[in-house]
């Protein structure tokens, strides 16, 4: 056949310009696309060879070669795959977006074939990304099978291409890129190795590198590992292989806490290999860092941090997802949010949560390690994932008044240890664990043998809004509203005792309220105190002190909300103050003592004093007996 020049079909030049200049965000993508095409060609040859032995009569050792020639400024990508006939070459490359891969798969489907190989090409535009870096592209191809002839295709991307007969020793396709000025980086082995590792590491056949226009030797080490671990059966994989893959993926020298191998079939099919790290990495602390899973389509890397596949509150999970069903945009650089994505995300989320639940039950030490690192992040799910809220609640753990220094208790464990007289779950929001453990608000509960959960993470302020109750047990704040403890009979008895004491202290509490009228809304006797003299209590639906401090730290305006000062009528300080009041209601020290009580209450909850200097002077005078 003599050389023939053709023009690209109907307005194709405009489309080609768009592909070259606008479709892909990075020029380096061209290598991914050409390697993907080469991989497809080999997959097609292998598949056809199952039923037609003439296709693989030469018993090939499947491979893809990349050959760089710095003198000629050419980069070659050669495969020994299925190749193309003249008609296929003209149809598949002369018409943009007429993907041969897609047509091949469609033809097999129409013939009701099964076990169709996973092929990468979908849109028929990836080949043209070569023109982003090449001024001229040459394709030499020989189709497998008897009676085929080699064809050469050449174009400068200027609106036309030529076809002519040529010579090629063996079946397959060779793409030769004459690189543009400024594209010499793609002739360096280190750069090619970097891109293969990034985009094509898991392509199933070896990708080899050669220089100076010479094909690599047979014993050369491939650039890719070819170990798409997620495609293998779990029973075939050793623990060290999971660890090695995780290290490669996450750049973490420590082995993961848990590997989750997932293969889903049905309406949506995908494979995933997920890892739960042992500790939080620095990337979780970066406010603008994207978090998500690495996305592969048929072993080819599409991109990292695809957050549409993973809810934000599970952003600590590392891993890969590989699916033929994912709806990519035409440049294959971003996902399109649709029902398929939501189904995959739902499956992945459910599997991670169920795995964590199994860890919590079967390997509590591992779960405790996980929770110490990622519990704060997991709690965010209560505000964003209402579908899985109950599962998330079951995974939450907290410090408590009974728990040892570095241990947690789950809501289920808390309920299981409740005395028969306890009907509610008690909690205290505090800035830190030490303040919570010494809070006066928990004294009566601890004395009764009730445990109190400590919410000491900043996010706990919002978590409680979604918790509400667990397994029918209401969560009650110990520093808000009225607090009634014990059985019905005990509550009646406690109320009578408190009412009797309130009558005795009525005048004194009124006096203290008048002295502190700018700071407290009410003064009353307390059912919560056993050892401390006083504490401050918020109304049931108001912010507690810790929440107020957090909001102010975030530069949020917080309206003044005077709280209630509760007093312990059995405390020696209150008894002495009552005796002084009964003896002389005009005693000036009474006002000072009222101020000291309020200061103690502020310190007891972790709040700052209004006037630290005056408080310390009053304490010094009291100590000196003035």
Residue 159 pLDDT exceeds 80: no
C-alpha distances (whole Å) from 376 to each of 22, 293, 316, 396, 603 are 42, 20, 11, 9, 27
HEC letters along 359-416: HHHHCHHHHHHHHHHHHHHHHCHHHHCHHHHHHHHHHCEEEECCCCCCCCEEHHHHHH
179 strand-pairing partners: 134
More confident site: 101 or 348: 348
Q: Quote the pLDDT of residue 94.
A: 61
Q: Quote the pLDDT of residue 119.
A: 44
Determine how many CB atoms are found less than 10 A away from the CB of residue 123: 17
In degrees rounded to 5, what are phi and psi of residue 564?
-100, 135
Provide the pLDDT confidence category of residue 353 given band limits of 50, 70 and 90: very high
Cα–Cα nearest to 82, from 34, 37, 139: 37
Query: How large is the average pLDDT for residues 291-317?
Result: 81
Q: Is the dihedral of CA 492, 497, 498, 500 positive or negative?
A: positive
Residue 431 pLDDT exceeds 60: yes
Q: How far apart are CA 322 and CA 296, in angstroms?
A: 5
Query: How large is the average pLDDT for residues 222-228?
Result: 88
Query: How large is the average pLDDT for residues 138-157?
Result: 91
Measured at the alpha carbon of residue 465, what is the angle toward residues 459 and 469, in degrees to the nearest 5? 115
Query: How large is the average pLDDT for residues 170-189?
Result: 95
Cβ(465)–Cβ(471) below 8 Å: no
Q: Quote the pLDDT of residue 108.
A: 47
Q: Which two tokens stand for residue 563?
A: 């709280």
Query: How large is the average pLDDT for residues 569-587?
Result: 92
Q: How far apart are CA 357 and CA 444, in angstroms?
A: 34
More confident site: 518 or 326: 518
- Please list, in sequence order, all residues whose beta carbon lies within 8 angstroms of the beta carbon of residue 218, skipping any fewer than 6 positions away: none
Q: Quote the pLDDT of residue 78.
A: 96
- Please list, in sequence order, all residues whose beta carbon lies within 8 angstroms of the beta carbon of residue 329, skipping any fewer than 6 positions away: 335, 336
More confident site: 482 or 4: 482
> Any idea which of 57-66, 84-93, 178-187, 281-290 has the lowest mean pLDDT?
281-290
More confident site: 113 or 434: 434
Topology (CATH) of 488-624: 1.20.120
Query: How large is the average pLDDT for residues 271-279?
Result: 93
* DSSP state letter for 21: I
Cα–Cα nearest to 158, from 338, 360, 13: 13
Residue 97 pLDDT exceeds 90: no
Domain range annotation of the chain: 4-211, 229-362, 396-477, 488-624
Q: Quote the pLDDT of residue 290.
A: 64
CATH class, 396-477 region: alpha beta
Cα–Cα nearest to 200, from 179, 242, 228, 237: 228
Residue 355 pLDDT exceeds 60: yes
Cβ(564)–Cβ(523) below 8 Å: yes
Q: Do domains 396-477 and 488-624 have the same CATH topology?
A: no
CATH 3.40.190.170 fits 229-362, yes or no: no
- Percent of the chain at pLDDT > 70 equals 85
**How many whole angstroms from its chain centre is CA 335?**
17
More confident site: 252 or 318: 318
Cβ(344)–Cβ(309) below 8 Å: yes
pLDDT digits (tens, 9 = 90+) for 9-57: 544 565 566 666 655 668 888 998 899 889 989 988 998 888 888 888 8
Q: Across the beta sheet with 425-429, what order do the strands follow?
A: 409-410, 397-400, 453-455, 425-429, 473-477, 469-470
Residue 597 pLDDT exceeds 60: yes
**How many whole angstroms from its chain centre is CA 601?**
41
- Percent of the chain at pLDDT > 90 equals 44
Q: How far apart are CA 556 and CA 565, in angstroms?
A: 25
Topology (CATH) of 4-211: Heat Shock Protein 90 (3.30.565)
> Any idea which of 337-341, 461-465, 513-517, 622-626 has the lowest mean pLDDT?
337-341
Provide the pLDDT confidence category of residue 272 given band limits of 50, 70 and 90: very high
Cα–Cα nearest to 411, from 487, 459, 351, 468: 468
């Amino acid at each position: 056949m003599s050389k023939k020049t053709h023009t690209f079909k109907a307005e194709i030049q405009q489309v080609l310009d768009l592909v070259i200049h606008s479709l892909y965000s990075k020029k380096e993508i061209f290598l991914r696309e050409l390697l993907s095409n080469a991989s497809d060609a080999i997959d097609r040859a292998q598949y056809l060879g199952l039923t037609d032995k003439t296709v693989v009569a030469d018993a090939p050792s499947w491979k893809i070669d990349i050959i760089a020639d710095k003198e000629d400024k050419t980069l070659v990508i050669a495969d020994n795959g299925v190749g193309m006939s003249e008609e296929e070459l003209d149809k598949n490359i002369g018409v943009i977006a007429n993907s041969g891969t897609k047509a091949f798969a469609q033809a097999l489907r129409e013939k009701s074939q099964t076990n169709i190989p996973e092929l990468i090409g979908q849109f028929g535009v990836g080949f043209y990304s070569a023109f982003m870096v090449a001024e001229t592209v040459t394709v030499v191809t020989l189709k497998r099978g008897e009676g085929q002839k080699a064809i050469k295709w050449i174009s400068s991307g200027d609106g036309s291409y030529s076809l002519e007969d040529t010579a090629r020793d063996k079946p397959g396709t060779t793409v030769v890129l004459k690189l543009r000025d400024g594209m010499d980086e793609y002739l360096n082995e280190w750069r090619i190795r970097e891109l293969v590792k990034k985009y094509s590491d898991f392509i199933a056949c070896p990708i080899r590198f050669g220089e100076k226009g010479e094909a690599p030797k047979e014993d050369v080490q491939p650039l890719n590992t070819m170990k798409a671990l997620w495609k293998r059966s779990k029973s075939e994989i050793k623990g060290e292989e999971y660890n090695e893959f995780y290290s490669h993926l996450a750049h973490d020298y420590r082995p993961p806490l848990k590997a989750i191998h997932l293969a889903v079939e049905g309406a949506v099919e995908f494979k995933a290999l997920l890892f739960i790290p042992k500790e939080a990495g620095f990337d979780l602390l970066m406010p603008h860092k994207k978090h998500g899973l690495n996305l592969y389509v048929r072993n080819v890397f599409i991109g990292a941090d695809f957050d549409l596949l993973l809810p934000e509150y599970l952003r600590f999970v590392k891993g890969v997802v590989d699916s033929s069903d994912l709806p990519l945009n035409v440049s294959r650089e971003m996902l399109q949010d649709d029902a398929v994505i939501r189904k995959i995300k739902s499956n992945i989320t459910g599997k991670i949560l169920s795995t964590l639940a199994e860890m919590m039950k079967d390997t509590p030490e591992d779960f405790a390690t996980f929770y110490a690192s990622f519990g704060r992040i997991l709690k965010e799910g209560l505000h964003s994932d209402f579908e899985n809220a109950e599962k998330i609640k079951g995974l939450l753990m907290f410090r408590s008044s009974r728990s040892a220094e570095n241990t947690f208790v789950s809501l289920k464990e808390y309920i299981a240890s409740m005395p028969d007289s306890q009907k509610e779950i008690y909690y205290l929001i505090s800035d830190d664990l030490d303040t919570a453990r010494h809070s006066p608000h928990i004294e009566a509960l601890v004395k009764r043998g009730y445990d109190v959960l400590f919410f000491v993470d900043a996010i706990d302020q919002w978590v409680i809004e979604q918790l509400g109750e667990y397994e029918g047990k209401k969560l009650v704040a110990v520093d808000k509203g009225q607090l009634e403890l014990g059985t019905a009979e005990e509550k009646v008895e406690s109320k009578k005792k408190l009412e009797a004491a309130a009558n005795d202290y009525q005048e004194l509490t009124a006096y203290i309220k008048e002295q502190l009228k700018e700071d407290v809304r009410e003064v009353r006797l307390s059912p919560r105190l056993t050892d401390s003299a006083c504490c401050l209590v918020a109304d049931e639906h108001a912010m507690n002190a810790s929440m107020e401090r957090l909001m102010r730290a975030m530069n949020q305006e917080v309206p003044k909300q005077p709280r209630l000062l509760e007093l312990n009528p059995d405390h020696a300080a209150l008894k002495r103050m009552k005796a002084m009041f009964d003896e002389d209601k005009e005693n000036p020290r009474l006002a000072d003592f009222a101020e000291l009580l309020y200061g103690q209450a502020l310190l007891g909850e972790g709040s700052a004093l209004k006037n630290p200097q005056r408080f310390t002077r009053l304490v010094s005078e009291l100590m000196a007996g003035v």
